[in-house]
Each structure stands twice: as structure tokens, then as C-alpha cells.
Amino acid sequence: MGWSRRDFMKGAALGGGALAVGGASTAAKAQDEMKAVPRRTFEKPEIEVPIMSVGTVPLTAFEPILRAMEWGMNFVHTNAGYADGKAIQMVGRALKEIDRDDVVLGLKTRLGYDSVMRDLETLGTDHVDITFFHTTNPDEPAKPEVEEAYLKLKEEGVTKALGLTSHGSVPQVLEAGLEAGWYDVFMPAYNPGNAAEIDPIMERAAQEGVGGMVMKSLRGGGGEPEQVWANMLDKKHWTTICWSVRNDGNVDQMANFANKWEEYVSADTERALAAAAEGKVCASCGYCDGTCPQNVAVSDILRYEMYAAEYGWVDRGRKLYAALPASRNALGCTNCGACTQGCKARLSIPDRLRVAHRVLA
Ligand code: SF4
Ligand code: SF4
């Protein structure tokens, strides 16, 4: 065999045209060639990434990362808590097989210095490319302590760029990030249900050079993934879509889509998906969390239910639900209706909470 797996991955990561499949790759999926996935560029600092990137929420094996590298999908996003800590270990394991410089690493954190250092140790590297500050609290993105923590990491060469990621109170968190002005990439929960609200913010972000990375794109489960993703990529404020993978099959699905994504673009489909999401898909607006007199963790519970019912991550959903204080779980809902009045997605929240409790308890 002329290509070693390492050589092959280097070639794929460098981009370019069709590449011959070699070694163990052929076992995963029979095909004659692998075409490197198209790329876009985060502007500040300039970091080139594939239009589909590798999420690791459920990852318990390292081989899918190697498979993604073969397709040139060299942007990997992880967090110490994913898959009970196994995912970040698998990323570290994969890095032993790959030149560090060929990978773009994204790390979700709270910017605590010691925890970032622990994550680097687990990963077996001295730096990541983008450190993502995660919050659902709109008061946090513009705090001076956040910028100070980032600048310290940057000065020490631990990270090149700062991202902001959120799955709660998303519009308010992004607005606060824009106001702060020190973020390079935004990674919000984004789906057909909240697109109308998030897109104008991301358009303004793009004008200021802030890159866009989609997460939780398939929330609501309407339409084929390819249909959902294509209409997102058609909006130039999105640089890449992060999809969490479990296995080589997931990786191949992403890559095959990415190489012909424009064929799936359809304004009619986008309108239909948005209409189908109404009354069904939480828009992550955060209104309910500040409204409930019982302090029920509404948006978190709906997200945990999504993990279990839509993504098939039943254990993860149940574990997160079990970790909530009992006073904040769905049983605390008195059906007062206060939250539903301002729900952006017009969900029947008490009904949804009852369903979620059945799934998660
Ligand atoms: S309907 Fe339930 S979840 Fe909504 S505000 Fe009232 S108690 Fe809270
Ligand atoms: S108010 Fe509705 S759309 Fe907003 S976070 Fe709560 S459930 Fe989701």
C-alpha cells in the first residue's frame, strides 16, 4: 500500500481534490474516492475550517476522528464533560495519530485557568485553536474577568482565538458578546425554529468579522439533516456546522453531504421547516427560565428531552435530568401558564414538561 494512514490524513487535511482511499478506510464504506470537504475561513484570526466540523458530545471511540481527517474535516470541538469525560480522552488519543498542526481544536470551557490546563493535559497538547466560553447567562459574556482570562491564555500561547457558545437565552447572550467585542467566533444553538431571530444577529456579527459555527442544528427533528444543513450553509454568516458523531457512518454522512451541499438548498424547504418548528421546537430564548414562579428549569429540561428523544442520547439526558435539584424538575410545574405567554416558539410548556418527565425520569 503506497499510502500510510498518516500520509493519507495529511493529504486530506491539506484539502484539494479527489483522494484515493487506502487501508482500513475501505472497510468503513466502499467507494472509489474521497473528495476533500469544502472549506471556509474564520476571519479573526484567520483559521480555515471545513464547512462541516466534528462534534464529540457522544464520542467514545477515537477512530471517527481519524476518519474525519481523511475527508479533510479537521476541525474538532470537545469539552471535558462530554460522554462522561471519555470524548476528550478520545480526541487526545486521536491526536497521537495525527500531526497536531493538521488539526483545528475547539475547546468548550468556562475559561478557568486550571481546568483549561487539565483539558490540555488530557488532550496531550499545549494549545487549542479556539477556546469557547460557554454561558447561558446574558450578564456574563461582557464581564471584564472573561476578557482577562482569555488574554492570559492567549499571551501564554494556550489559545489563538475566543469563541462564545450558548444554548440558553441565545439571542441575549449573542448580543452581549457583540457588545463586548472581544469574541472571534459565535457558536449558538441554531435550528429552523430560532433562525428568524438569530440570523439578523449573526449577520451583524459577520460584518464585524465574527465567525459563525452552528450547533444543535437538528433540534426538532424536522426534515432530513441534509436539507436543514444546506439552507444554513447558504447563509454566509455561518462558517461551519458542528455535528456530534458517534461512528464512521456519521462522519461519512457529513462528508458526502458537504461535497454536494448546494444541491440541497431550497427556500421552499426552509420555509416548510420553519413552519413545522412553530409550536414544536424550543427556540432557546430563555424567557421561561426567568418567568417561572416555581423556578422549574424549563429550557434545560426540554434540552435534556431533546438529547434523549431526538438524538438517542438517553443516558445523557437522564443523567442531566437526575442532576437537577428536585425542586427544579418538571414535577414542580403547577400549570400556571406564566411561561407560555412569552414563549417565542409558542410551546405548550406544561404539556411538554410532562412528556419530558416521562422520558427522563
Ligand atoms: S406553567 Fe409550569 S413551568 Fe410554566 S411558569 Fe407555570 S409553573 Fe413554571
Ligand atoms: S420560552 Fe419557549 S422558546 Fe423560549 S426557552 Fe422557553 S420553551 Fe424555549
Q: Is 202 exposed, middle or buried (0-12, 13-18, 19+ CB in 10 A)?
A: buried
* 294 plus 268 within the same structural domain: no
Specify the residue with its C-alpha closest to ligand 2, atom 4.
285
Q: Are residues 217 and 103 in the same domain?
A: yes
Using the mean position of ligand 1's atoms as its centre, give its distance from the Cα of residue 284 in Å: 16
Q: Is residue 277 a part of any domain in this protein?
A: no
Please report the pLDDT score of residue 22 as a whole number. 36
Residue that finishes a domain, picked among 244, 272, 300:
272
Beta-carbon contacts of residue 219 (< 8 Å; ≥ 6 apart): 189, 191, 193, 281, 282, 306, 310
Q: Do both 213 and 342 map to the same domain? A: no
For residues 192 and 51, state if they share a domain. yes
Q: Is residue 30 part of a domain?
A: no
Residues 212 and 307 placed together within one structural domain of the fold: no
Is residue 306 lining ligand 2, measured as CB closer than 6 Å?
no
The pTM for the full model equals 0.86
Looking at 225, 245, 272, the residue that finishes a domain is 272
The arithmetic mean of pLDDT across residues 18-35, rounded, is 50
**Claim to verify: residue 184 and residue 42 sit in the same structural domain:** yes
300 and 211 inside one domain: no
For residue 300, give its domain range. Answer: 288-360
CATH of the domain at 134: 3.20.20.100
Based on the domain organization, do 65 and 180 belong to the same domain? yes
Q: DSSP code of 215?
A: B
Residues 263 and 302 in one domain: no
| 304 and 249 within one domain | no
Cα–Cα distances in angstroms (integers) from residue 85 to residues 78, 283, 333, in the given order: 10, 28, 32
What does the pLDDT look like over 265-324, one tens digit per residue? 999 999 998 888 888 888 888 899 889 999 999 999 999 998 898 888 899 999 999 999
Q: Is residue 327 lining ligand 1, measured as CB closer than 6 Å?
A: no
Residue where a domain terminates, one of 217, 238, 272: 272
Spatial CB neighbours of 177, under 8 Å, sequence gap ≥ 6: 141, 142, 164, 183, 186, 205, 210
Q: Which of these, 133, 137, 193, lies nearest to 165 by C-alpha position?
A: 133
Q: Which residue has the cell 414535577?
A: 331
User: What pLDDT score was predicted for residue 313?
Assistant: 86
267 and 331, same domain (yes or no)? no
Domain count, the chain: 2
Q: State which ligand 2 atom lies nearest to the alpha carbon of 169.
A: 5
What pairing do the DSSP bridges indicate for beta strands 104-109 and 130-134?
Answer: parallel
**Environment class of residue 226 by beta-carbon count within 10 Å: exposed (0-12), middle (13-18) or buried (19+)?**
middle
Clarify whether residues 237 and 307 are in a common domain: no
pLDDT in tens, 222-281: 789 999 999 999 999 999 999 999 999 999 999 999 999 999 999 999 999 888 888 888
Q: Reduce the DSSP state of residue 188 to 3 states and report it.
A: strand
The model's pLDDT over 63-84, given as tens digits with 9 standing for 90+, comes to: 999 999 999 999 999 999 999 9
296 close to ligand 2 (CB < 6 Angstrom): no
